[in-house]
Amino acid sequence: MMTENLQTLFDQAQHITFMTGAGVSTASGIPDYRSKSGLYSAKFKGLPPEYLLSHDCFVQQPEMFYDFVKENLYFPDAKPNVIHEKIAALCQSGRASLITQNIDNLDRTAGNDQVVEFHGNLYRCYCSKDGEQVDWHDYMKSMYHDTDHGIIRPDIVLYGESISESALQRSMAAIEAADLLVIVGTSFKVYPFAGLINYRQPNAKLVVVNNEPIPAGSVTAQYSGDAETFFAGLKG
């Protein structure tokens, strides 16, 4: 249940910046990484997901990378839930911004065209040889680009790769604009994403909505429970 105190923080905020992770999409049927039922609890051909989602794996074992990504990351039938929808509505009204670590496209499907996709988007693919954009449906059929036989990849940030300059700049601007930061559905262990909160205004308030404790420092308020329930109860 939404406590009055938390609702008041949302009502009084001039600008809210949401920072989200895989926990906002579990209610849409997409597993997260670090929960008990998450992707990291499984191994694939004896290899850990951290390696399978790395730049090294993509370069050295591209077939393995492709099989892993195709079988475990793509959920094209998933639909946005109330969390994506309420955040999108707040962003559309200009009262909020969103920085997500998610690569599942659900914020865009919910109508959020301003979202900062910190780790990219699975449904944008390109050929690593000539840089040409490739439809993700074609990537699902083959990892090879039909015109030049280059290896196709999704436009996501792999372990060992850097965040794009534009994503960093847009994220910092969103963090600096906020008098309320709301962290939702993330274990908050991945850097540089987790380090973004260090750029917040000194008086900015910090709210955490997650079903387990996370290392976010001193928070103004927190909701320990299911993020879908929290957002269903959020007014305005």
- Helix, strand or coil for residue 174? helix
CB 182 within 8 Å of CB 21: no
H or E element: which one contains 147? none
Cα–Cα separations (whole angstroms), residue 142 to 74, 131, 135, 149? 14, 16, 11, 10
Which position among 26, 54, 81, 97 is part of the footprint of ligand CNA (CB under 6 A)? 26
Q: Which is nearer to ligand CNA, 54 or 97 (CB)?
A: 54
- Helix, strand or coil for residue 159? strand
| Joined tokens for residue 56 | 């090294």
CA 31, CA 16: separation in Å to the nearest integer? Answer: 26
Contact between 154 and ligand CNA per CB under 6 A: no
How many other CB atoms are there within 10 angstroms of residue 202's CB atom?
Answer: 4
Which position among 210, 216, 231, 234 is part of the footprint of ligand CNA (CB under 6 A)? 210
| Residues from 159 through 198 that contact ligand CNA (CB under 6 A) | 185-187, 189-190
Q: Which is nearer to ligand CNA, 69 or 178 (CB)?
A: 69
| Joined tokens for residue 143 | 């990892």
Which position among 163, 226, 232, 233 is part of the footprint of ligand CNA (CB under 6 A)? 226
User: In the bound complex, what is the minimum distance in angstroms from residue 32's beta carbon to ligand CNA?
Assistant: 3
Which position among 23, 49, 80, 150 is part of the footprint of ligand CNA (CB under 6 A)? 23
User: In the bound complex, what is the minimum distance in angstroms from residue 15's beta carbon to ligand CNA?
Assistant: 23
Query: Is 119 considered catalytic here?
Result: yes
Which position among 9, 13, 18, 32 is part of the footprint of ligand CNA (CB under 6 A)? 32
How many other CB atoms are there within 10 angstroms of residue 236's CB atom?
Answer: 10
Which residues are known to be catalytic? 119
Interface contacts to ligand CNA, rule CB under 6 A: 21-23, 25-27, 30, 32-35, 38, 101-104, 119, 185-187, 189-190, 210-212, 226-228
